[in-house]
């Protein structure tokens, strides 16, 4: 089956297609990147072409997580790229972290999620809030992919408003007794440990490392997702789980703990979404030049050019936003509200690009012959997790007005 429109059946049967992706850099943003950023970007791009592209459509169709990729993700340094090497990270800067997320999400948002959760939502809180003993015990193994982690904040009744959480701990001597449930937890069914946020008897929000073998812990899988199908999502259920006090983060006792982790992950998503958008644009551009209708390439029609021109314009704006955010983050100056703006803008941009790319591919756009529909479906999740599109708008609104629309 060629990439021309020869019938959807062949397209659906054809697996392990050649990945012809080329990066797009309309404003020479590469000139703003350092040598090590470009090396990291190119290494991850090659790895994605070799390890992700040949299998991702099949895994996505089967709604199965390619868990064998955890080891490879560790080897390419995708877990905590900007955390110190001695604590299992990559010792790189925030822009390197960003370009790595971009390339992973170019492959699939679910693969980027595997790295985001492990690095930014599990390793980062242990690094930032954990005791020295916790860091030494867990971080090297997490960095090497020997342990898989998940992050439990969202609850069935508390999504956008995690501060309302009812999962709780009560003091029991040398341990806390943990009860409650978390919902929509990426990687929970395959995780060895969970970073869990719960309310203590004084009402303070505490973070802790819960191990899967602890009695009363379970992590059932959530089935039936039409989005992020190559990522495994589950619940976390705690029934009188006895969590030793040495597993509790000693210092942090407020929402600042989990929200700081979100800032780290949202930053990565702001870059990641550009990858998904670039893949859709790349596929649409090639298709528009190859596909003939009315005796000429569809790329010759003004309406197709409008779509492509607007797509590359929006991708370029998002690249500049991410790069500037990265330079601020490197100086420790990126504010949570700035990160919210970039996450919201870039994910929405990617979703719009995916929709336009889907149209350019005509009927073929809904098949697995092209990556576009998979990205489109994935991005519906990315628009919602790590703070919904509207929650980020309200964060920007609060930042510019000084007025809180949440309470």
Give yes or no for residue 289 binding ligand TGC (CB under 6 A).
no
> Which CB, 145 or 234, lies closer to ligand FAD?
234
Give yes or no for residue 391 binding ligand FAD (CB under 6 A).
yes
| Cβ pair 261, 121 in contact under 8 A | yes
Give yes or no for residue 333 binding ligand TGC (CB under 6 A).
no
Give yes or no for residue 29 binding ligand FAD (CB under 6 A).
no
Q: Interface with ligand FAD by CB under 6 A: which range of 76-84, 101-109, 336-344, 387-395?
A: 387-395
| Cβ pair 200, 178 in contact under 8 A | no
Rounded to 5 degrees, φ, ψ at 158 are -140, 90
- Residue 296, helix vs strand vs coil: strand
User: How near is the Cβ of 165 to ligand FAD at its closest, in Å?
Assistant: 10
CB contact set of 132 (below 8 Å; sequence gap of 6+): none
Taking CB within 5 to 8 Å according to partner kind, which of ligand FAD, ligand TGC, none is near residue 116? ligand TGC
Sign of CA dihedral 114, 120, 124, 125: negative
| Residue 20 burial class via C-beta count within 10 angstroms: exposed 0-12, middle 13-18, buried 19 and up | exposed
| Cβ pair 48, 106 in contact under 8 A | yes
For residues 129 to 168, the per-residue mask of contacts with ligand FAD, x marking binding by CB under 6 A and - elsewhere, is: ---------------------xxxxx----xx--------
Pairing type for strands 233-244 and 175-186 reads antiparallel
User: How near is the Cβ of 28 to ligand FAD at its closest, in Å?
Assistant: 35
d(CA 196, CA 218): 13
> Which CB, 162 or 371, lies closer to ligand FAD?
162
Neighbouring-strand partners of residue 296:
293
Residues within the interface to ligand TGC (CB under 6 A): 113, 116-117, 151, 153-154, 160-163, 186, 254-256, 259-260, 262-263, 265, 336, 385-387, 391, 395, 406
Q: Would you tell me which residues interact with ligand FAD (CB under 6 A)?
A: 117, 150-154, 159-160, 184-186, 228, 233, 381, 384-388, 390-391, 394, 406
């Amino acid at each position: 089956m060629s990439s021309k429109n020869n019938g959807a059946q062949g397209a659906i049967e054809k697996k392990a297609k050649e990945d012809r992706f080329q990066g797009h850099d309309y404003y020479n943003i590469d000139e703003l990147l350092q040598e090590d950023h470009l090396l990291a970007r190119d290494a991850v791009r090659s790895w994605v072409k070799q390890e992700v592209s040949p299998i991702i459509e099949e895994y996505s169709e089967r709604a199965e997580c390619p868990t064998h990729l955890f080891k490879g993700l560790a080897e390419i340094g995708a877990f905590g790229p900007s955390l110190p090497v001695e604590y299992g990270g990559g010792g790189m800067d925030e822009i390197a972290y960003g370009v790595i997320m971009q390339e992973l999400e170019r492959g699939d948002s679910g693969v980027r999620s595997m790295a985001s959760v492990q690095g930014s939502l599990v390793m980062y809180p242990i690094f930032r809030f954990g005791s020295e003993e916790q860091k030494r015990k867990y971080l090297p193994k997490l960095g090497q992919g020997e342990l898989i982690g998940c992050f439990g904040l969202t609850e069935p009744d508390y999504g956008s408003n995690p501060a309302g959480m009812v999962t709780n701990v009560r003091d029991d001597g040398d341990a806390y007794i943990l009860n409650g449930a978390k919902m929509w937890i990426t990687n929970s069914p395959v995780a060895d440990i969970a970073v869990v946020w719960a309310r203590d008897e004084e009402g303070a929000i505490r973070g802790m490392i819960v191990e899967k073998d602890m009695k009363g812990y379970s992590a059932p899988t959530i089935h039936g997702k039409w989005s992020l199908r190559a990522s495994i999502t589950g619940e976390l259920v705690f029934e009188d789980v006895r969590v030793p006090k040495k597993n509790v983060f000693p210092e942090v006792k407020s929402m600042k703990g989990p929200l700081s982790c979100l800032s780290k992950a949202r930053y990565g998503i702001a870059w990641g979404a550009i990858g998904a958008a670039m893949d859709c644009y790349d596929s649409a551009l090639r298709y528009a030049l190859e596909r003939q209708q009315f005796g000429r390439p569809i790329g010759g029609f003004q309406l197709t050019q409008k779509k492509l021109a607007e797509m590359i314009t929006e991708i370029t704006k998002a690249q500049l936003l991410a790069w500037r955010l990265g330079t601020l983050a490197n100086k420790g100056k990126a504010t949570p509200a700035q990160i919210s703006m970039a996450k919201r803008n870039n994910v929405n941009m990617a979703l719009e690009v995916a929709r336009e790319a889907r149209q350019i591919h005509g009927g073929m756009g809904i098949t697995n012959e092209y990556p576009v529909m998979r990205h489109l479906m994935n991005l519906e999740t990315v628009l919602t997790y790590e703070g919904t599109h509207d929650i980020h708008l309200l964060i920007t609104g609060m930042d510019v007005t000084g007025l809180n629309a949440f309470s």
